């Protein structure tokens, strides 16, 4: 192993869908229903292209798949209809929909006084967090209502780090989509992929999920994969004190 790059991490930023909670099936069901309504054959493989992007960008991709064109007003109406169907499904969510290990990992970060944020392209992020009982678990929530540019633009992550008052290079992002990984890197952050390593090759490291994960295990993974030695800066530590786990 070569020389390690040391980074004293002060914040962790989480995408929501597919990272904290599995809403992918709900999105897929709503998009497939819409696609069927307008005569587009929409598969789970097609749905992968919609991960991590905004609702309107997703509409563009859906129409591209179907080779269709509609007026801007009609596209907006279709997007709103999809959202209504999705919200109906979200209303049935609860704490049981939180992905395994997420709560334990967030609680560890809280005990270490490490700042956390949700950075989700979804305009329903706050609703989902409320339904699963995690609305107060994060220091900052940035969603699609607060940004103009969709991932892979780094806007959402830069806004999150700004609200956390933490430099981008001292943040770790958890993402399940290539667009999100690219956005995190453009923001100057460490990007950890959540999911299949083969699908997230550009990530600095990849985890299958949060079950069994803690900050020590994560630091070992990053050291092995990207030669990054992750230390944790705890709220209240003075500028000269570095805590490496």
Q: Is 104 a catalytic residue?
A: no
Report DSSP state, residue 132: T
Contacts of residue 85, Cβ cutoff 8 Å, sequence gap at least 6: 29, 30, 33, 34
- Looking at 17, 143, 176, 204, which residue is catalytic? 17
Q: Answer yes or no: 15 catalytic.
A: yes
Measured distance CA(57)–CA(4) in Å, rounded: 39
Q: What angle do CA 11, 4, 233 make, to 5 degrees?
A: 25
β-sheet with 171-175: strand ranges across: 140-142, 115-119, 11-14, 171-175, 190-194, 205-207
Distances (CA, A) of 13 to 44, 160, 204, 218: 27, 8, 15, 14
Catalytic residue positions, numbered: 15, 17
């Amino acid at each position: 192993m070569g020389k390690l790059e040391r980074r004293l991490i002060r914040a962790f930023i989480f995408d929501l869908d597919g990272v904290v909670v599995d809403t992918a099936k709900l999105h897929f069901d709503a998009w497939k229903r819409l696609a069927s309504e307008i005569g587009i054959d929409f598969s789970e493989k097609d749905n992968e292209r919609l991960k991590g992007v905004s609702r309107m960008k997703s509409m563009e991709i859906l129409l591209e798949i179907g080779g269709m064109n509609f007026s801007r007003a009609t596209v907006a109406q279709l997007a709103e209809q999809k959202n209504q169907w999705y919200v109906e499904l979200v209303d049935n969510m609860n704490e049981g929909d939180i992905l395994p290990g997420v709560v334990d990992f967030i609680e560890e970060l809280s005990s270490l006084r490490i700042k956390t944020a949700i950075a989700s392209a979804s305009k329903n992020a706050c609703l989902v967090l409320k339904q699963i009982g995690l609305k107060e678990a994060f220091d900052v929530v940035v969603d699609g209502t607060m940004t103009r540019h969709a991932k892979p633009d780094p806007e959402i992550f830069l806004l999150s780090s700004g609200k956390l008052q933490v430099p981008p290079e001292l943040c770790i992002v958890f993402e399940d989509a290539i667009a999100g990984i690219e956005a995190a890197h453009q923001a100057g952050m460490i990007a950890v992929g959540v999911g299949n390593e083969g699908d997230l090759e550009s990530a600095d490291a990849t985890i299958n999920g949060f079950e069994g994960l803690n900050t020590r295990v994560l630091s070992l993974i990053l050291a092995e994969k990207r030669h990054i030695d992750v230390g944790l800066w705890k709220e209240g530590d003075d500028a000269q004190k570095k805590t490496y786990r």
